[in-house]
Structure 1
Amino acid sequence: MPAETLLTASDQPMAGPLLITPQVFGDDRGFFYESWNERRFRQDLITAGLPTAEAEGLQFRQDNHSRSSRGVLRGLHFQLPPEPQGKLVRCSVGSIFDVAVDLRRGSPSYGQWVGATLSAENHQQLWVPVGFAHGFLTLSDDAEVQYKASGFWNRDCERSLCWDDPSIAIDWPLQQAGVTTPLLAAKDAEAPGLQTLLSAGEVFA
């Protein structure tokens, strides 16, 4: 599974998130690929610079599956300690624009974002490590998204970041999704901006 570092809006590589492209075997009957291989995933993390001990200690605690209609935006979500979550995200039906925002206060890319289109056609996956907010916009009529999470869901740790915070300026492909304003859950529509989260101490060290 080749993995590549993504670039920010200012064309700088962001340490942490990885776009993973699996090897797909296909013919006129259909296709086959490994959507998850623990050994290869850990090697991707180590190759990208994660310490070996940390990569080998990573475990996934639960798998999640969502279905969304065109123009739905889910996010930006994250969990604080003691139950933070890293997420390995893929889209098995339709297509989405998937985004990770760096919330690591000491990071050179703090407050910046990276994004990638994940689809049933390209089979790509986005690794969103602990320390990042995650969200996606549905580009197709319907999309089914699965992700592995490294921590259990914990209501007390769960937080949201405003999807259109101007200080982050995510370039959401709303026109491609066919909407001018995305469809949001109430908690996402009311989510605070990055500065509010920082003032409340609700970002990562």
Structure 2
Amino acid sequence: MAYRVTPTDIEGALILEPQVFGDARGFFLESFNQADFEHALGMSVQFVQDNHSRSAKGVLRGLHYQQPQPQGKLVRVVRGCVWDVAVDIRPGSASFGRWVGVELNDTDLKMFWLPPGLAHGFLVLSDSADFTYKTTSYYAPAHEGCIRWDDPDLAINWPDPGVEIRVSEKDARGQLFASLVG
């Protein structure tokens, strides 16, 4: 098995640690292998889009989601360090309303699998970070939504990046989690 799998407090969300082969020259890893990934999840998954973003320290992106047409995401950091957060917004889920955070960086090379139906965001902790992710559905602007990163009901414990947190205008106008419930 190419991944060490760690379940989280959100149903279906997993931390995946790939095998890394390193020596004095550097390292090698398979960043994605369809058969190993599906074995780790215990189900078939088809990805349709790959995305790559670069952000400066203190940039917070999220908490984004799509409804309908939710996206499953396999996320990782190829340069730098981020605090990555998933929030379960699936009605009827045993973990509905819970959030999970994990540090993703270019040192331990962990990946985070977010099944469809979660809101997602990240905060850059290093000077900059390159963040990549595979998605199970295409980006659909007509179906996108955003929950405020500082929603008091979610009370996400964002780490202090050492600089002012910066969000886009769109993310600053995100809705409160309670509006999804009501």
TM superposition score category, shorter chain reference: over 0.9
In structure 2, distance between residues paired with 1:149 and 1:105:
21
Q: TM-score, normalised by structure 1?
A: 0.85
Query: Where does structure 1 lack aligned partners over 5 or more consecutive residues?
Result: 7-12, 47-54, 200-205
Match of 1:139 among 125, 131, 135: 125
Please report the RMSD computed on the Cα atoms of aligned residues, expressed in angstroms: 0.9
Q: What code does the residue aligned with 1:36 have?
A: F
After superposition, residues 83-122 of structure 1 pair within 5 angstroms as: 83-122=69-108
How many residues align? The count is 180
Q: What code does the residue aligned with 2:125 have?
A: L
Match of 2:7 among 5, 8, 12: 5
2:47 alignment partner, SS class: coil
Q: TM-score, normalised by structure 2?
A: 0.96
Contact 2:51–2:133 (8 Å) recurs in 1? yes
| Structure 1 stretches of at least 4 aligned residues deviating more than 2 Å after TM superposition | none
2:61 alignment partner, SS class: strand
Q: What code does the residue aligned with 2:168 have?
A: A
In structure 1, distance between residues paired with 2:180 and 2:142:
15
Corresponding position of 2:24: 28
1:40 alignment partner, SS class: helix
Query: Where does structure 2 lack aligned partners over 5 or more consecutive residues?
Result: none
Corresponding position of 1:19: 15
Query: 1 or 2, which has the higher helix percentage?
Result: 1
In structure 1, distance between residues paired with 2:180 and 2:10:
21
Give the fraction of aligned pairs with identical amino acids, expressed as a percent. Answer: 48
Q: CA offsets per residue over residues 94-141 of structure 1, 9 Å max, x none?
A: 000000000012122211100100000010000011110000000000
Corresponding position of 2:154: 168
1:21 alignment partner, SS class: strand
Corresponding position of 2:179: 196
